[in-house]
Amino acid sequence: MRCRKCGQKAVVNMRQHKLALCKEHYLEWVPAQVERTILRYRLFTHEDKLIVAVSGGKDSLSLWDILWRLGYQAEGLYIGLGIHGETGYSETSRKLAEQFAIQRSLNLRIVDVLEEYGSTIPDIAAKSNRGRNKPCAACGLAKRHIMNQAARIGNFTVLATGHNLDDEAAILFGNTLHWASSYLIRQAPLLEADAEGLIRKVKPLCRMYEREMAAYALLRGIDYVYEECPFATGSTTIYYKELLNKLEAEQPGAKLNFYLTFLQAKEGGLFNEKVDSARELLHNCPQCGEPTTAPTLCAFCNMIGKTSA
Ligand code: SF4
Ligand code: ZN
């Protein structure tokens, strides 16, 4: 297999794009694709101040690397969840995120949940009855809260996350199976800050296959945490990803087509009349100041409150 650009030996063959590339041209191609997504969906400009949520995994670190190479102003945010597992998941991922930032002289902000709130995520989940065996609901809530708060306090204009196409297609698949219209309305590469105190959220890797990002991290020499979070095992999202991978093996490009035609249908007006009614009234949480739809304290402060009870 030869590189389409230079005829040298190809190292990556993307059946979904009918494209094979050598290392040099692959490392050029990926940032160019990400730049296309940024422009196509008007995610942000060079004037924006970005904060990238980094978990220490291949997607978020590669995203930060790409934004840095493309000349965007991007700092990192690492959230220490206190998840140890057998391999010291949180410790390893923090170390790799810190190492990445030092190597590129980039600024990494760290919020350690245990230091900040007195309990780890698994403990918060258990004490607040939000999942004794699987702390994912509590974890997701805490991460969303901390990311928005860190971005707001740091005067960032955009929060970027490393969701790739496989993530987005799996979420879309789940939302479609349940016709979860309120989620389908909000699923997009860009979520505007449509209320005071909320930050614009973007997913610049939404058109990149997971496999493409793994190849990018590997060829770029990015040291990332290979293990998934121990609580990810057996999740529905992973099951949907496996189903979609079977489809993709039979029909290269099916995943991308599924996601992109959904975005096109939305641009064409699908869900339009539902958007206004989906915007709920927000007020600021009296304890932390974050915007919330809950009647009094926000869901996060409520959850944390239960852990100290
Ligand atoms: Fe949090 Fe791990 Fe669950 Fe992901 S899999 S939401 S990191 S607990
Ligand atoms: Zn609050």
Please tell me if the CB atom of residue 135 comes closer than 6 angstroms to any atom of ligand 1: yes
Q: Confirm whether 193 is domain-assigned.
A: yes
Domain-embedded: residue 62 = yes
From the CB of 229, is ligand 1 less than 6 Å away?
yes
Q: Please, what is the angle between helix 299-307 and helix 136-153, to 10°?
A: 120
* CATH (domain of 37): 3.40.50.620
Quote the ligand 1 centre to 270 CA distance (angstroms).
31
Give the pLDDT of residue 259.
Answer: 98
Which residue puts its alpha carbon closest to atom 5 of ligand 1?
A: 232
Please tell me the predicted confidence (pLDDT) of residue 214: 98
- Which pLDDT does position 85 carry in this prediction? 78
In a domain, 205, yes or no: yes
Q: 101 lies in a domain? A: yes
Domain interval for residue 178 = 24-272
- In three-state secondary structure terms, 206 is coil
Mutate to test the pocket of ligand 1, among 231, 235, 237, 239 (most ligand atoms within 8 A of CB): 231
Task: Please give the single-letter amino acid code of residue 112.
Answer: D
Best mutation site among 139, 161, 235 for ligand 1 pocket (most ligand atoms within 8 Å of CB):
139
- Please indicate, yes or no, if residue 196 is contained in any of the structural domains: yes
Atom of ligand 1 nearest to the CA of 55: 7
Q: Which atom of ligand 1 is nearest to the CA of 121?
A: 8
The number of distinct structural domains making up the chain is: 1
pLDDT at 176: 97
Q: How many whole angstroms from 296 Cα to the centroid of ligand 2?
A: 9
SS (HEC) of 245-308? HHHHHHCCCHHHHHHHHHHHHHHCCCCHHHHHHHCCCCEECCCCCCEECCCCCCHHHHHHHHHC
Annotate 186-197 with b (16+ C-beta within 10 A) or e (fewer). ebbbbeebeeeb
Residue whose CA is at the smallest distance from ligand 1 atom 8: 136
Residue 66 resides in a domain: yes
Best probe residue, ligand 1, of 229, 235, 238, 303 (max atoms within 8 Å of C-beta): 229
Could you tell me the pTM of the whole model?
Answer: 0.92
Residue entry with tokens 């809950």: 294
Q: Would residue 280 count as lying in a domain?
A: no
Question: Which pLDDT tens digits describe the chain residue by residue (309 residues)?
Answer: 999 999 999 999 999 999 999 999 999 999 999 999 999 999 999 999 999 999 999 999 999 999 999 999 999 999 999 998 778 999 999 999 999 999 999 999 999 999 999 999 999 999 987 766 789 999 999 999 999 999 999 999 999 999 999 999 999 999 999 999 999 999 999 999 988 889 999 999 999 999 999 999 999 999 999 988 999 988 999 999 999 999 999 999 999 999 999 999 999 998 876 555 445 678 899 999 999 988 899 999 999 987 776
Q: Domain for residue 167, yes or no?
A: yes
